[in-house]
Structure 1
């Protein structure tokens, strides 16, 4: 038993190291390299979503359209015009939602495309093409990682009332608060390491992303509990699936993406100025 656990632990650590190297390297280089990672994450998330929710069993044609839509958005992100990505995504999403409105297809199908497609788009939008995008992506990573790690340890150390016992029995309010505090501190440290004047706005953004991260974690727990699965898949040795690893990151990116678009009042530069928005520049 000890030997088995030791092998599992080594496999888990090795997988984590490889993932960190790949993601941080792509984040550093940015451009096409990061878009490839963002697209890969989006496609894998859609694969896991469609598997968990059994989309192919419900309606093979609808599932095929979902894959077609993901492929089209991914190809445009990699080789097309950046300005067309969001309109293309919105058009395909509306098209995917029409059969659900007519009650011919389950809402899990368009929801999966929304979740996976927006994952790739928001990740790419935050990273952008410049150094500010690199700092912004690093900021999001640190907020999410700090939230996740400290929520786990504070929750185990203090315990107390459960956060959402019907969805995730192990999570506590103490862990959630501890994680949020850690997320704000981590985000502030990243900002202060790169900017001389860091205001309250950065702390507000960090807190928002931290809370969104915890909501994302609960959301994925809800999906898995709804369909009776333990892990989203077994794609990552020792870690389960991609959704298991990026659930909090996904919702944090969603929050940053929509806050930036909202603050720009629909400006064409909303996505480009993501980093400037995060740091109040």
Structure 2
């Protein structure tokens, strides 16, 4: 059984807050300005996320298949940023097949082949979703900004409601800090921020966007659980130590990636 998680120290919360304050404005500025600044941000993020995933799989000592993962994701996003989106799916499938076969048969590591290939597919599609949402719509800035606000408000609402109310855990074997009270608090927070966002922008029906925000909060938490499962699988506390107080980039954007993928799929279908 996992030990009871300790409450964050005030110094830890200060470091986390300062990191968010420092990183937040450049991210928002890049999203607002759009291409090429948002493209560069997403490509760089994809590169870092791929490196973190490979580091997890290899427990920090990355070998050739892990670097192939990093190069593949960076290349796929770069091609997409330059407008070669028609090549994304066939190029992704080709890279995935080569990565799996090489790791599975040349290195004789079937489990590693699965996790590396999963990372290639998941990180490529989710980061591509962000790129597509920002560039392929007249209101791309508003869509990506809304997703960011939902994820941030979900984290804040879940943290404070979970800490103040406590109660039963959702999945203590995966993420021992997550409670049902925190999830509900995150959903309420995301619904409120979405409603206000719709009122200010006038682009969407406030009630519909509010309900959508609550649903997206659940997806954000699922993305968090997914990343927590991966870290537990490879016995890691954080995806890296890149961001003071937060761990790695994957620790910071796990919910964002899941939400971007869902919003992307909804736009593609409808």
Q: Distance in 2 between matches of 1:185 and 1:148?
A: 14
Once superposed, what is the RMSD of the aligned Cα atoms? 2.6
SS at match of 1:233: coil
Aligned to 2:4: none
Contact 1:139 1:191 in 2 (8 A): no
Aligned to 1:17: 21
For the pair 1:85 / 2:88, whether they are aligned, the reply is: yes
Aligned to 1:50: 54
- 1:149 aligns with one of 151, 156, 180: 156
Point out where structure 1 has 5 or more consecutive residues left out of the alignment.
Answer: 265-281
Aligned to 2:40: 36
Point out where structure 2 has 5 or more consecutive residues left out of the alignment.
Answer: 1-8
Cα shift at 1:176: 0.6
Aligned to 2:229: 222
Contact 2:199 2:206 in 1 (8 A): no
Q: Distance in 2 between matches of 1:221 and 1:56?
A: 17
Cα shift at 1:99: 5.3
Contact 2:166 2:181 in 1 (8 A): yes
Aligned to 2:134: 127
Aligned to 1:256: 263
Aligned residues: 258
Contact 2:195 2:207 in 1 (8 A): no
Distance 1:76 1:110, change over 3 A: same
Distance 1:183 1:10, change over 3 A: closer
Q: Distance in 1 between matches of 2:204 and 2:69?
A: 45
Cα shift at 1:57: 6.0
SS at match of 2:177: strand
Q: Distance in 2 between matches of 1:49 and 1:171?
A: 23
- 1:8-33, CA deviations, whole angstroms, 9 ceiling, x for partnerless residues? 66544432222101100001101110
SS at match of 1:20: helix
Contact 1:231 1:244 in 2 (8 A): yes
TM (norm. structure 1) is: 0.82
Distance 1:181 1:12, change over 3 A: closer
Cα shift at 1:7: 6.8
